[in-house]
Amino acid sequence: MMTQHTNGNRPWHIEQHGINTIPELEKKGHPQDLFWVWFAANIGILGVLYGGIIVSYHLSFLQSILTAAIGSLSFIIVGILSIAGRDGSAPMLTLSRAVFGTRGNLLPTIVSWVNLLGWESVTVITGTLSFEALLQTIFGVNASLYTSIASMVIFIGLVVLFGLLGQATLVIIQKIAAWLFGLLTFSVILLLLHGTHWNEVFTEPSGSWIRGFLPAVSMIIAGNGISWGNAAADYSRYQPHTVPKRTILWVVTLGSSIPVFILMMVGVLLTSRAPELVTAANPIAAIGRLLPAWMAIPYLIAAIGGMLTQADLGLYSSGLNLLAMGVKVARHKTIVIDAFIMGLITVYVLFIHQNFMGPFESFLSLGGAGLAAWEATFIVDGWMIRRKTGYLPRISHSTQRKFGWTHEINGVALLCWGIGIMVGLLFTNSPLFNGPLAIGIFANSNLGVLFAFLSSGLLYGAMVYPHRNEQVQPRPRPIQRDPGNVGKP
């Protein structure tokens, strides 16, 4: 029986679409929507911490600029993956079924979901710390267990509230946030740069290109382009097929990279005044101490707003991942489930582990390897096969055998993805895990993310290239009506 959706993309309504294919008639998005979505998602003060991480590798100012530039431009990965959303009209990890198989896609989806939960938790932890500092500033209360719990509950409540609404509402919120919190953040930046020890910044000696520069690039890429790639199509699936691919690529890349680059460079400059920035238990408070007292409240509001926009996107996508994993619940209930788990992680880090940066860097290293390997496999498959066959449900759900696999499980893609992860972990060095090959020049390199990406992509390309024509079918014309409840709970 055909199911018609008439309000799946209407503002201020609960999200109606799950992981089903969006009918072409309902694809009313504009390219500028993607710009504001990704701009707002990257204006968080957390970006300043990346600048501190860059400096912790003992790089010169020129090396730091180059690291920040490459790291921010890694969002071109998100731009490329966003094109798949336009073509397939479905969420990112639903489209992934066409590559890994409807059953084989379960493992990559679990890895993606765990990564999204991790990022949500990072933003909630940071937002909670910011909210607590705001309460202390406004009401003069002392930090305590009660203020921390109250701040966490309020912040998670706001994230859930916005997460329940549909993508049309999300676009509106992100656009408003981009202007409001973007202007506030820019004002904060101007004040933070006042008093920078410019002589120290410009005279910093060059660090090792192998032991310093490459590891820093790998870490920043893991926290930027790699970490957001698994959510790319979730926000481009409402883009009509008439929107050019290059337009989607550049609006997503520029919308993401511009604020990230600026914030990272601010972090690089701030470390001349606050070298303890990376090791601080509350990095948000450490940054706030560099501002005049009258700027405390606007700064904290900007920090909270930036964290909210990031957490909203993470929660929206993680719910879609749950559905792609086969969890049979209503779309709005996935938000509640993820919020509950996110709260548990936040409680552990804030009240039990009581250390933010250690778990954060470990998360970037370990989680990045799994995502990097998946993204490389997906991109190579898209270039060799999907640009000709498309991502339509009848392709991703069929059981036709080609190249020794069925669309239930693509053993070739899973093998290349798994090998990429193993290669990445072999060279990973983090507070939680040290790979056996992370020795010598790789002892502190953290190049696991880059190695995972390259090894999976190259291996999959080498294995599929000789058989690429066996899997190519003519691309069907875009669907003009809803094909039914394909993949929808």
Tell whether 388 is covered by a domain. Answer: no
State the residue for tokens 């957390």. Answer: 46
Domain with 129 in it = 24-356
Q: What is the CATH number of the domain that holds 97?
A: 1.10.4160.10
Tell whether 413 is covered by a domain. Answer: no
State the residue for tokens 């040290």. Answer: 434
Tell whether 39 is covered by a domain. Answer: yes
> Is the alpha carbon torsion for 233, 237, 238, 244 positive or negative?
positive
Measured CA to CA, the distance from residue 439 to residue 119 in angstroms comes to: 29
Measured CA to CA, the distance from residue 329 to residue 332 in angstroms comes to: 8
Extract long-range pairs of 345-348: CB within 8 Å, 24+ residues apart: 345/117, 345/118, 345/121, 346/121, 346/124, 346/125, 346/128, 346/152, 346/156, 347/152
Measured CA to CA, the distance from residue 387 to residue 394 in angstroms comes to: 16
- Residue pair 128/61 in contact (Cβ under 8 Å)? The answer is no
Tell whether 102 is covered by a domain. Answer: yes
pTM of model > 0.95? no
Measured CA to CA, the distance from residue 353 to residue 375 in angstroms comes to: 31
Tell whether 439 is covered by a domain. Answer: no
- Provide the residue-wise pLDDT of the chain in tens; the chain has 489 residues: 333 333 445 555 556 677 888 888 888 889 999 999 999 999 887 788 889 889 888 899 999 999 999 999 999 999 999 999 999 999 999 999 989 988 899 999 999 998 998 888 888 888 888 888 888 888 887 778 888 889 999 999 988 887 777 677 778 888 888 888 888 888 888 888 877 888 888 888 999 888 889 889 988 998 899 999 999 999 999 999 999 999 999 999 999 999 999 999 999 988 878 777 777 767 777 888 888 888 888 888 988 888 888 888 888 899 999 999 988 888 888 888 998 998 888 888 777 766 655 666 666 667 789 999 999 999 999 999 888 888 754 444 444 444 444 558 889 999 999 999 999 999 887 767 788 888 877 776 678 899 999 999 999 999 998 877 766 544 444 444 444 444 443
Measured CA to CA, the distance from residue 123 to residue 82 in angstroms comes to: 23
Tell whether 401 is covered by a domain. Answer: no
Alpha carbons within 13 angstroms on the beta-carbon side of residue 149 total 3
Measured CA to CA, the distance from residue 324 to residue 88 in angstroms comes to: 15
Measured CA to CA, the distance from residue 374 to residue 417 in angstroms comes to: 6
- Residue pair 390/476 in contact (Cβ under 8 Å)? The answer is yes
Tell whether 393 is covered by a domain. Answer: no
The count of structural domains within the chain is 1
DSSP assignment of 44-67, as one string?
Answer: STHHHHHHHHHHTT---HHHHHHH
Tell whether 477 is covered by a domain. Answer: no
SS3 call for 240: coil
Q: How many CB atoms lie within 10 A of CB 92?
A: 31
Extract long-range pairs of 149-153: CB within 8 Å, 24+ residues apart: 152/124, 152/128, 152/343, 152/346, 152/347, 152/350
State the residue for tokens 């390309």. Answer: 461
Find, among 115, 143, 108, the residue nearest to 129 by Cα: 143
